[in-house]
Structures are given as C-alpha cells and as structure tokens.
Amino acid sequence: MKKISKICCIGAGYVGGPTMAVIAAKCPDITVTVVDINEQRIAAWNTEKLDQLPIYEPGLAEIVGEARGKNLFFSTDIERAIDEAQLIFISVNTPTKTYGIGKGMAANIRYIESCTRTIARVAKDDKIVVEKSTVPVRTAATVKAILEHTGNQVKFNVLSNPEFLAEGTAVRDLLNADRVLIGGDSDPDGQAAIAALVDVYAHWLPRERILTTNVWSSELSKLAANAFLAQRVSSINAMSELCEATNADVREVARAIGMDSRIGAKFLQASVGFGGSCFQKDILNLVYIARHYGLREVADYWEQVIRINAHQRERFAKRMVTSLFNNVSDKKIAFLGWAFKKDTNDTRESSAIYVADFLIRERAQIHVYDPKVSLDQMRQDLRELGSRPADVNDQHLFASSDPYEVLNGAHAIAVMTEWDEFKTLDWPRIHKDMEKPPFVFDGRNVLERRELEAIGFQYSGIGA
C-alpha cells in the first residue's frame, strides 16, 4: 500500500471537522480536504472570522487557523476530493430512523449509502474507505457490497475507525486519544489498508494506543463504549432518586464508590439526564440489533438505560412544577444553558429541550441564556420534537444574550448546562431581581448550595 498523501473526508460536522483539523495539523505531509453537501456549512468553515466557525470547540479555531489553506481545505466539490484521495473518511450523520422499519430505534444509514454510491461512481483508482461515523454493526458489509458492484474495476478496502471524541473536549481528546480503533479484513490487502491508516495516527500517537481488530469488533465496540458510558450516567441517576428518598447525598455516594479503582471516578456526575447525538441513538441502535438477533433479554437490559434517562428528565420537570405550587402557567422560568453539555454549541438530544417541552405544556414562559446557542436553534429543537404547532412554542420560548435580563423577574431558575460562567454570576443581584420565593433547580449540581441558601434561594439539586 502506498503512503497516504491525500485524504478526503465526507461530512464536515462535529466529528469530521475537528478530526480532520487535527489530522491536518499533525500530518503536514498529508493534504486533507473536508467536503459536505451543505454549502452554508462549508462556507462557514472557510470564514475569515475564526470565531464564527460552524462548530464551537475549545482550541478548534486555533488549529483550523493554522492548517487551513496549507494542507486543510473545506469544499463542496465532493467528486474531485474523492477522485484525488487515496483514503476517504465517511463522516456523515446517522440519526435514528423516523420512518418505516426500525422507526425510532434503528440508525438511518441513508447518508452513508448515498456517499458510498458517490465514491463507487467517481473512483478511478484503488481507495481505502473508512467508516468514521457510528454505524450499526455489519454496515461495512453494505458499504463493501455497493463499492464492489460498480464495475469500475478498482479495488476498495473498507475499514472501520470509530471516533471516540467527546464534544467540548474534542481537540484535547483527538490530540491525546486513550486509544484509536481500526478494524479491517485479515487478508493481505486488508492488513495493508490498516497499516496505512495506522501510519496516519502514528504521526502523533504512540503505536500501543492504536488498536487493530476485525471490522465487526470495531463497529460494535463503538456502540458498546457509548452504551457503557451512558449506563454509568443512568446508574448514578437512578441512585439520585433513591438518595432523595433516603437523605443520602448522591455526590457523596459517587465519591465513595468512585474511589474503588474497579469502578473509577469518571462519569458519575448525577444530572438531569444525558444528551448529545450519540448515547440515545447508539443504545437504541444496539437494542434494535439485539432484537433483530432474537436476544430479548439483552435488548431489554440496555433499553432500561434510556428509560431511566427519560424518567430523570421528567421527574426534574415535575419537581419544578410541584415546588412552584403546582402552577407554572404564565410564570417566567429562566433556563441557564440549552446545549447538551458545556463548551459546545451542540443541542442534539439536550435535556433542556425535553424539560422546556414539559413546562410549555404547563404554559410556562421559558427564557433562556446560553452563551453559544441561538434562539433560532432552540426553536428548531422544539419544533423537531413536534409536540405542538411551532407558533405556540414560539410564544413560550425566549432568549437573551444577557443572563441578567433572562433572570430578572423569574420565579425559578433551571440550570440545564454546566457552563463555568454560571458559577460566577452575581447571585445576590439575581436574588434581588427575582420573584419571591426564588427557586434554583440545579440540574447539573454545579452551583454552591450553601452559598445560595445563605443568600435566600430555595435550592433543589439532583440527588440530595
């Protein structure tokens, strides 16, 4: 296999964008072209103003600024980029299906299929095709089948190379990955393709952190990793409800169990529920696959992780209504945060959407401050949930770029995202400007309970 000098990545999203920026920055001998059908998104990646890139990630603007125009390019000319590259990453979205067989459970691989067909049509010489998007296990067989029936007589090698970065820490995770996983075939061509991709990552990562497996293990490992991580969050969230019933404190419980080295301290932060584009989608997909193979107990086991998450969101919203004298109609409720976690502008599956939806059903007026999310995005998120006509949502949802405007005159505050800046707000001023009694529902357990209670807030966290 020749050394890789040109890479194409199809899909300029939360995975493709940061991953390719880091590859370009660390591999000056490789030209990386990121392509997308979304012209607006590509234009935004090419913007002069680096603070207006389509994706917000700490450290990303600096890396893009350094590599762009040298060996990192963003383009809508998909065919040309495919034609020129020896290695093509497929990094398109695979959302949960909203129609037909597997509706609401299976991952929709239509975008994967569509770009695979483009690769098959355009390729004039041998290519390594890498699945970067999270896909159902055995998707590589579909990709291979499409590529091999094109009649172009070129050889394709399909690899699975799932991405494990977490949003908000994407650049750090990519630069210092715990591991990189590459799955490929065991025949000599498959092994050569694996070696070519290993070489790319070996530009900056120690070889022992680059794992190679067969394609199916690699595809399934990504689903398994996300399922295990989400399971930890649901486990601690299930404990949080028990803590509330028994006067235990979930943070103390998390600390006590996390010091057991077999359990470990990470991912034990009780919250209003996990969000993001991966956890729910990947577990639903896992459940769907297990059912497909007739593994009912396995499917039911993992499905419970999602159920606890939905329950956690709902009981948080219910508790708000109950505390506010069972009535939030026309009350101003301030949301601090809308993104699914701090340091990202991504809102997919954010618990804020579900809690807002619940409160709007009770006719509350929601006013949101999020440092990186626009009102348009929030409105779109609620529209996509489809609970009621968009104009009704719009009459109940407002946002401001000034947190104090959002908080002024509010009956209650719901902390939905753990943005650091919320801790240093002028809390005595907020207390003065709120309706009395002023409630804080800390969905992330990030504020100082004792300090807020000393000022006069009614504080309610998760699991204490």
The tokens for 264 are 């470990």
Whole-number Å distance between alpha carbons of 218 and 463: 36
Q: Does 11 bind ligand ADP (CB under 6 A)?
A: yes
The one of ligand ADP, ligand UDX, none whose footprint includes residue 8, by CB under 5 to 8 A per kind, is: none
Q: Does 226 bind ligand UDX (CB under 6 A)?
A: yes
Whether the ω angle into residue 371 lies within 30 degrees of 0, i.e. cis, is no
Which of 8, 27, 115, 278 is flagged as catalytic?
278
Number of Cβ atoms within 10 Å of the Cβ of 260: 9
Whole-number Å distance between alpha carbons of 436 and 456: 10
Q: How many helices (H) and strands (E) does the chain have?
A: 18, 14
Out of 1, 8, 16, 460, point to the residue binding ligand ADP (CB under 6 A).
16
Q: Report how many residues bind ligand UDX under the rule CB under 6 A.
A: 19
Q: Does 90 bind ligand ADP (CB under 6 A)?
A: no
Which of 132, 222, 281, 341 is flagged as catalytic?
222
Binders of ligand ADP among 259-318, rule CB under 6 A?
277
Q: How far is CA 47 from the centre of its chain?
A: 24
CA angle 186, 187, 191 (to 5 degrees): 70
Q: Does 233 bind ligand UDX (CB under 6 A)?
A: yes
Judging by DSSP bridges, how do beta strands 412-415 and 332-336 pair with one another? parallel
The one of ligand ADP, ligand UDX, none whose footprint includes residue 16, by CB under 5 to 8 A per kind, is: ligand ADP
Q: Does 343 bind ligand UDX (CB under 6 A)?
A: no
Q: Does 271 bind ligand UDX (CB under 6 A)?
A: yes
Q: How far is CA 19 from the centre of its chain?
A: 14
Is 349 within 8 Å of 309 (Cβ atoms)?
Answer: no
Is 177 within 8 Å of 209 (Cβ atoms)?
Answer: yes
Closer CB to ligand UDX, 123 or 238, in the complex: 238
Closer CB to ligand UDX, 165 or 324, in the complex: 165
* 3-class state of residue 158 by DSSP: strand
**Shortest distance, position 340 Cβ to ligand ADP, whole Å:** 12
Give me the residue whose beta carbon is nearest to ligand ADP: 13
The one of ligand UDX, ligand ADP, none whose footprint includes residue 114, by CB under 5 to 8 A per kind, is: ligand ADP
The one of ligand ADP, ligand UDX, none whose footprint includes residue 133, by CB under 5 to 8 A per kind, is: ligand ADP
The one of ligand ADP, ligand UDX, none whose footprint includes residue 143, by CB under 5 to 8 A per kind, is: none
Whole-number Å distance between alpha carbons of 97 and 456: 47
Closer CB to ligand ADP, 73 or 427, in the complex: 73
Inter-axis angle of helices 215-246 and 139-148, nearest 10:
150
The tokens for 277 are 């584009």
Nearest to 427 by CA among 402, 445, 453: 453
Residue 62 is a catalytic residue: no
Which of 131, 163, 167, 349 is flagged as catalytic?
163
CA angle 451, 453, 457 (to 5 degrees): 120
The tokens for 144 are 């291979």
Is 270 within 8 Å of 242 (Cβ atoms)?
Answer: no
**Shortest distance, position 92 Cβ to ligand UDX, whole Å:** 15
Out of 102, 275, 461, 463, point to the residue binding ligand UDX (CB under 6 A).
275
- Per-residue x/- mask for ligand ADP, residues 107 to 136, rule CB under 6 A? ----x--xx-----------------x---
Residue 281 is a catalytic residue: no
As annotated, the active-site residues are 163, 222, 278
Q: What is the contact surface with ligand ADP in residues (CB under 6 A)?
A: 10-16, 36-38, 41, 78, 91-93, 111, 114-115, 133, 277
